[in-house]
Amino acid sequence: MKKARFSIGILFFICGLNFATWATRIPDFKSFLGLSDAQLGTILMGLPIGSLVSLPIAGWLLTKYASRWICIMAVAMYVIVIPGLSLMSSPIALFAGLFFFGMAGDIMNIAMNTQVVSLEAKMNKIIMSSFHAVFSIGLMAGAFLGGILEKENFTTTEHFSLVALSNILLIPFSFPNLLTDKPVHDESKPKSSILNLGPYLITLSFIAFCGMLCEGAMADWISLYFKEYIPNSPYPITIGFSFFAAAMVLGRFIGDTLSLKYGVSTILILNGILLGLGMLLTLLFPSIYLKIAGCFITGIGISTIVPLIYSQAGNQKEIMPSIAIAGVSTIAYVGFLLGPVLIGYLSDFVGLDKALFLLVILGFLAAFISKTWANSK
């Protein structure tokens, strides 16, 4: 099981690395194409649209093929799409490229989380949070690599091609030990997608949506917030995101242990409260140290929302686990991709500092829904 755990972890690392690779170059695309925040937000819509389109495709694939093969297919898509993004020279072309990037990400997201749920069943323990910690490490690695390559004047094409090559080099270390689960054909359970997830899974989906939307917004906008609203900071503009990302890793590594000790519903309620309070601390107080602390608390709050939700979805008995994960994770992933878009539009109208208050609302909303879900169980 240790080999399987390591192999699945590589997939989560790749997924985080690839998303951060794109995110670190967003300012370059914005500058090159001369886009406003709202125009950039429109182009970014390609990501969640691609993700939504991939939902029925991913669900169908999981009923026909083992998830390990779908993971490899998603990596192959990444290897083609990531370098292709760097060649997009118009807003329409970039939108199209992001559409396929969103498809690859969602298919990968569903398949690798299906692998984790299968591993949890074999080990008879909750381990989902630790894998999402590896995703966060991939995000940090991608952001760090992107910063170095940009400083060394690597072009976007060189940067993206290097990351695509790293995807290829990592697969031989992952594929051989991925779980050889077989497609599930259970006629006693509904097989369709999001339309018949049922109230239990829809509730879980909304909690995950809130958490992932906030995570995506923080990843793309918090550094810009520090640049615009703390112009004389003695620290790099990435300081807030760095503490946020570190908190995400920490929270996800200890999340499985805490959920076993205090219960999933208690941790989810606490997650939402910490998310909301952390963003209030970041946005309301002028001290850079309080803002950094707020980013750290926000990261702790967001950290275990999604992994705990995925684990609950994969272990319910209403419908096939693969279909449950496909539906819930797609709704969550759309939130992750939609967050930056919404913040972009809102910031054009009310300013970035006020737009980020959306995260405060979503944090407390996630806590409320989690409390309602806990009471209904």
3-class DSSP string for 208-244: HHHHHHHHHHHHHHHHHHHHHHCCCCCCCCCHHHHHH
Please give the model's pTM, rounded to 2 decimal places: 0.79
CATH architecture of 2-173+195-376: Up-down Bundle (1.20)
What pLDDT, on the 0 to 100 scale, is given for residue 188?
Answer: 47
For residue 290, which amino acid is it?
L
Residue 289: CB atoms within 10 Å? 9
**Dist CA 218 CA 348 (whole Å):** 17
What pLDDT, on the 0 to 100 scale, is given for residue 317?
Answer: 73
**376: Cβ–Cβ under 8 A, 6 or more apart, which residues?**
203
Residue 237: CB atoms within 10 Å? 16
**Dist CA 178 CA 73 (whole Å):** 14
Q: What percent of the chain has pLDDT over 70?
A: 95
Q: For residue 169, with 0-12 CB atoms within 10 Å meaning exposed, 13-18 middle and 19 or more buried, which class applies?
A: exposed
* Per-residue pLDDT tens over the stretch 116-144: 888 888 888 878 888 988 998 998 888 88
What pLDDT, on the 0 to 100 scale, is given for residue 136?
Answer: 86
| Domain limits, the chain | 2-173+195-376
* Per-residue pLDDT tens over the stretch 298-355: 999 999 998 899 888 877 777 777 778 778 877 887 888 788 888 888 988 899 999 9
Q: For residue 12, with 0-12 CB atoms within 10 Å meaning exposed, 13-18 middle and 19 or more buried, which class applies?
A: buried
What pLDDT, on the 0 to 100 scale, is given for residue 207?
Answer: 95
Tens digits of pLDDT across the chain (377 residues): 788 899 999 999 999 999 888 887 887 888 889 988 778 888 888 888 888 888 778 878 877 888 889 999 999 999 999 999 999 989 999 999 999 999 999 899 888 988 888 888 888 887 888 898 899 899 888 888 887 887 788 999 999 999 999 999 999 998 888 888 666 554 444 444 445 678 888 899 999 999 999 988 898 788 888 888 888 888 877 788 888 988 999 998 898 889 889 999 999 999 999 999 999 999 999 999 999 999 999 999 999 998 899 888 877 777 777 778 778 877 887 888 788 888 888 988 899 999 999 999 999 999 999 999 888 76
Pull the structure tokens for residue 69. 């093969």
Contact 55, 326 (CB under 8 A): yes
**274: Cβ–Cβ under 8 A, 6 or more apart, which residues?**
297, 298, 300, 301, 363
**Dist CA 68 CA 75 (whole Å):** 11
**Dist CA 177 CA 61 (whole Å):** 20
What pLDDT, on the 0 to 100 scale, is given for residue 61?
Answer: 85
Alpha helices (H) in the chain, listed in sequence order: 2-24, 26-33, 37-44, 46-64, 67-85, 91-123, 128-151, 156-174, 198-229, 239-262, 264-284, 288-303, 305-314, 321-350, 352-355, 357-376
| Angle 160-162-166 from CA coordinates, rounded to 5° | 115
Contact 361, 230 (CB under 8 A): no
Angstrom CA distances, 204 to 126, 154, 207, stand at: 17, 42, 5
**329: Cβ–Cβ under 8 A, 6 or more apart, which residues?**
106, 109, 110, 113, 208, 310, 313
